[in-house]
Structure 1
C-alpha cells in the first residue's frame, strides 16, 4: 500500500502544476488600450488595396524586441489592441505606393491614442466623378504627380458589388496604359461594363486606382456608390 502511495505522488504533482499553469493562462490580462490611425498625405487618408499594406510596431520586452504586424485597411486606417507602453512604428520598405521611408515613429501609449502616419506618394488621384450609362459605369478624374522619380504604369477603374473594390475584388474593370496618358493636366475617363447578370441591381460600387512603375501596390481613390436606377 505504501509503495502505491509513493508512486502516485509525482502524478499528483504533475496534475497540480498543469492545473496551476492553466489558471495562469486563463487569468492572463488582455490588452485594453487601442492604437488607431491612418496613413495620410497632406492630412488626407490614402486609399489602398484591402489588407495589402502592412505597418509594424516594435516594442522592447524583457528579453526580445517584439514585432507586431498591423494591416492597413483600404481607406488607409488601421487599429491595434495593445498593452500600454512605448512602441516604434515602422513603414516597411517597398510596401506601399509611396517613397520608402524607414524612419520609425515613436508612439507612447497610455490608454487609447490616434495618430497619423505621413507618406509621400508618387501620384495622387483628384477630382473623381462617377456616372452611369446603359450597362456601364464611367469615372473621370485627374492624376497628379507629387513626387519625382517614377512614371505611371497604368490607371484603372474597378466596379464591384461591395465596398471592398480592388484588383482582386471586382466584377468588372477598365484600364488605360501609360503610353496613352500623354498629358496629366487633362482629365482621364475610364468606362467599365456592368456584367449582364448584375444589370438589375440598384447600385454598384466604383473605384479608381493608379499604378506606379516599379512599385508593387497601387494607390486608390475611395469607393463610391453609383446608383443605377
Structure 2
C-alpha cells in the first residue's frame, strides 16, 4: 500500500514539475511584452478636433505649394506655405512627405506629395497635425510635348495652328490688295490732275498768242 502511494506521489510531483517548466516561460514572456507606442495619428489629432482648446496664436494654417522639376527644396525644414507660425508659441515637427503610392518626396519625380507636420504648443495645450500638398511639376520639355500632342486635327488633316496661320496669311493678302487698290486709285487721281494742269497750261499758251496777235494788229493799224 505504501509503495502504491509513493508511486502516485512521485507521478504527481513529476506532472507538477513539468507544468511549472511549461508555464514559467510563458509567464516570463508575457511580462516582457511591452505595449506598442501610439501611432502618429493617435498621438496627434486633427486641428479641427482640438481647435477650441487652443489660443488664437497657437493655430497655424498650411497652404499647398508647387515646385519646378529638380528644384532644391528641404522638405523637413522649409515651411513655405505654412502661415501664422510663432516660434515662441509652438514647435513644428516634420513627420513625412509621401505620394499616394507611399514613395518619399523627390523633386525629380513629378507628383503630388502630402507633407505632414505636428504642431506642439509651448503652453502644453493640445498638439495637432497640419498638412500641405506639394506638387512637383513635370519638366518643361515634357510639358511642351504634351501640349503639342493635344493640338486638335480636323477632318482635312489640318491642325488648329495651321488654320490660324492660314487665316493670318489671308488677312495679310487682303490688306496688301486693298493697299495696292487704293494706291492705284491715288495714282489715277494724280495722273488726271497732271492732265488737267497740262490742259490749263496749253490753253493759257494759246490765249497768250492770241493776245500778242491782237496787239500787233492794233499797232500796225
Same fold, judged at TM 0.5 (above): no
Q: Which has the higher contact order (CA 8 A, sep 6+)?
A: 1
Q: Which has the higher strand share?
A: 1
Q: Which of 1 and 2 has greater Rg? A: 2
- TM-score, length-scaled by structure 2: 0.30
TM normalised by structure 1 equals 0.29
